[in-house]
Amino acid sequence: MRLLAVLENPWCLTSMLLLIVLLVVAAALVSRERARAAGVRQPMQATAPRPPRLHQITATAPFEALQALGERLAEIQRHLPPGSEDARWLQSYRNDLRNVQDEVYWGLFSASDSDRTHLLQRLDQEVGQLERIVGERLSATLSATTDRSALHAQLDQLRQVVSR
C-alpha cells in the first residue's frame, strides 16, 4: 500500500518517470560507447552532396579580380573630397559592384560543376573587360568627363552573365 501512496502524489510520480528516462538514456549512451570502443561501426546515414566551399568560389580568378577591382575603386574614392558628388557616385558604383559580386558568388554556388566551369570562363572575360573599362575611364581619378554610363553598362553586362 505504501508504494501506491507514493504514486498518487504527482511530484513523486513525475520524479520517478524522470529517473526512468535518465536511466534509459544513460544505458543507451554506455552501450554506444562500448560499441565504439569495440570497433563496431554505427550505420552511416546517407548525406546529401556538399555544395562547394566558400574558398572554392572566392579563390577563382574572376572573383579575386572583382575583389581587387573593388579595392582599387576604394583607393580612388579615398582621394576624392569627402561628400563630393564624385565621391557619392563612386560609392554608389562600388555598392553596385558589391551587389554584382554577391550575385556572382550565388550564381557560382548554385551552379553544377560543369555549369560552374563554363560560368567561370564567361566571368573571366567579362571581369577582364570591366577592368579594362575602369582602367580607361577612371585611370587614377574620377572627373566630370568620366564616361559613367560605360562603367554601368559593363557592370550590367557582368550581371547578365550571372543571371542566365
Domain that residue 88 falls in: 54-163
Query: Contact, 106 vs 159, CB < 8 A?
Result: no
27 found inside a domain: yes
62/20 same-domain check: no
Q: 114-127: per-residue pLDDT in tens?
A: 888 888 888 888 88
Please indicate, yes or no, whether residues 18 and 87 belong to a single structural domain of this protein. Answer: no
Classify residue 121 as exposed, middle or buried by CB count within 10 Å of its CB (0-12, 13-18, 19+). exposed
Q: Are residues 66 and 141 in the same domain?
A: yes
- 145 with 68, same domain: the answer is yes
Residue type, 156: D
Range of weakest confidence among 12-21, 88-97, 150-159: 150-159
Please tell me the distance from the alpha carbon of residue 85 to that of residue 90, in angstroms, as a whole number: 9
Cβ-proximal residues to 134 (8 Å cutoff; 6+ apart), any chain: 69, 72, 73, 151
Question: Is the same domain home to 58 and 10?
Answer: no
Give the whole-number percent of the chain exceeding pLDDT 90: 1
Check whether residue 76 and residue 129 sit in a common domain. Answer: yes
- Which pLDDT tens digit goes with each residue over 132-160? 888 877 765 666 667 778 788 877 887 78
The DSSP string of 46-98 is P-PPPPPPHHHHHTSHHHHHHHHHHHHHHHHHHTSPTT-HHHHHHHHHHHHHH
**Tens of pLDDT, residues 29-51:** 888 888 777 765 555 555 555 55
Same domain for 81 and 10, yes or no, is no
Q: Are residues 73 and 108 in the same domain?
A: yes
Residue 60 CA: distances (Å) to CA of 9, 54, 108, 120, 124: 68, 10, 10, 8, 9
Here the cell at position 95 is 555598392
Domains: count for the chain: 2
Query: 21 lies in a domain?
Result: yes
